[in-house]
């Protein structure tokens, strides 16, 4: 009987009874032999024979692992009743074994060196299962790729360029190159490096962030660019009695005068743009003294910018006295009139 299904043997030879049961699927079977005559003393013999199962094995494919991450190899045996040993051979020389549970085995590694790995696995023969085929998987352990996301905004002359770099490296140092200036050992704190650069003249600048390999992290670099635009305010000392003129140098593509606010001593003045990057403001005549000047850019083309300065109205250093006299005959009085500014 095979699992309680009665069958008859096909042939008998050399003391063995044979039955070719090719239709049986792969599995685990109880075989019971009953009522065999012709044995010594015509005794009846009974027994149970458990057959071995042929197995296949599959190793889960791992394509790429970053250094420092766990490498988990999973071997699946085709028979769910397999609870024996799986043998793993790595790169043809390192052999590891691990048990299976219900046909599944795991092998875990930590901190594997950067390299290319070939893994062959097979299930070893036991009491109920034959040795399996050999299955292979290939994977790579790489250094961790470093991301460098550079953030910098356009700015104006006289203002700092504020640069921040976000990275997946939590701490350490990097190098930042701004134009021709090199800043070594910029500290990384909580995945971010910050730098303020002053004194930049008008122009376009490249920013390059460079991280040199440390530990599990690979070397990396990234570049972006930003612009520094001219925004200067010229206010000269003005003689009393003369209307002061304020000159503002701005990017030539600023065409809306409302984008520039100018106040002198708290009074707002209209701005005139010449279309070539020069804005002018004519201020009313003012008494001798010093006055606060506030010039700000409030448009959308460029970042907000504000310049604070002063206007000095001074006593006139040169002026003309208009002198007139009425005609008179000899011996008569003449009236002389002197007119000052």
pLDDT tens digits, residue range 146-156? 999 999 988 99
- Interatomic CA distance for residues 264 and 291, integer angstroms: 7
- Is residue 36 classed exposed, middle or buried when 0-12, 13-18 and 19+ CB atoms within 10 A define those classes? middle
Q: Please determine, for residue 309, whether its predicted confidence score (pLDDT) is greater than 60.
A: yes
Query: What 3-state class would DSSP assign to 248?
Result: strand
- Which two tokens mark 234? 């010229």
pLDDT at 338: 81
- Interatomic CA distance for residues 319 and 259, integer angstroms: 38
- What secondary structure does DSSP assign to 96-125, as a single string? EEEE-BTTEEEEEE-SPPSEEEEEEEEEPP
Q: Please determine, for residue 39, whether its predicted confidence score (pLDDT) is greater than 70.
A: no
Residue with more model confidence, 66 or 180 = 180
Report the chain's mean pLDDT, rounded to a whole number: 86
Q: If you count them, how many residues does the chain have? A: 341
Q: Please determine, for residue 49, whether its predicted confidence score (pLDDT) is greater than 50.
A: no
Q: Please determine, for residue 38, whether its predicted confidence score (pLDDT) is greater than 70.
A: no
What average pLDDT does the segment 249-271 reach? Answer: 93
The tens digit of pLDDT for each residue in 213-246 reads 998 899 999 999 999 998 889 999 998 888 999 9
């Amino acid at each position: 009987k095979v699992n309680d299904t009665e069958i008859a043997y096909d042939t008998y030879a050399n003391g063995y009874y044979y039955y070719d049961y090719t239709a049986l699927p792969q599995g685990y079977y109880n075989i019971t032999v009953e009522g065999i005559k012709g044995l010594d003393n015509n005794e009846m013999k009974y027994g149970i024979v458990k057959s071995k199962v042929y197995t296949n094995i599959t190793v889960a494919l791992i394509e790429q692992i970053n250094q420092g991450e766990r490498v988990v190899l999973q071997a699946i045996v085709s028979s769910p009743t397999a609870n024996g040993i799986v043998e793993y051979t790595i790169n043809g020389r390192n052999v590891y074994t691990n048990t299976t549970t219900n046909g599944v085995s795991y092998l875990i590694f930590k901190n594997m060196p950067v390299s290319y790995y070939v893994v062959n696995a097979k299930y070893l023969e036991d009491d109920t299962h034959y040795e399996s085929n050999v299955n292979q998987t290939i994977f790579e352990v790489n250094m961790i790729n470093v991301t460098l996301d550079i953030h910098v905004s356009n700015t104006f002359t006289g203002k700092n360029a504020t640069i921040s770099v976000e990275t997946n490296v939590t701490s350490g140092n990097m190098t930042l190159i701004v134009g021709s200036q090199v800043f070594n050992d910029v500290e990384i704190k909580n995945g971010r490096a910050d730098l303020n650069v002053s004194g930049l003249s008008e122009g376009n600048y490249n920013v390059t962030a460079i991280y040199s390999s440390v530990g599990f992290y690979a070397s990396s670099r990234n570049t972006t660019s930003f612009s520094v635009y001219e925004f200067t305010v010229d206010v000269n000392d003005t003689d009393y009695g003369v209307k002061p003129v304020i000159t503002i140098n701005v990017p030539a593509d600023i065409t809306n005068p409302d984008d520039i606010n100018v106040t002198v001593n708290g009074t707002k003045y209209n701005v005139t743009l010449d279309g070539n990057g020069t804005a002018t403001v004519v201020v009313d005549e003012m008494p001798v003294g010093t006055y606060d000047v506030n010039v700000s850019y409030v448009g959308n083309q460029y970042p907000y910018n504000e310049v604070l300065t002063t206007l000095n109205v001074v006593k006139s250093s040169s002026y003309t006295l208009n002198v007139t006299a009425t005609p008179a005959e000899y011996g008569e009085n003449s009236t002389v009139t002197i007119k000052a500014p």
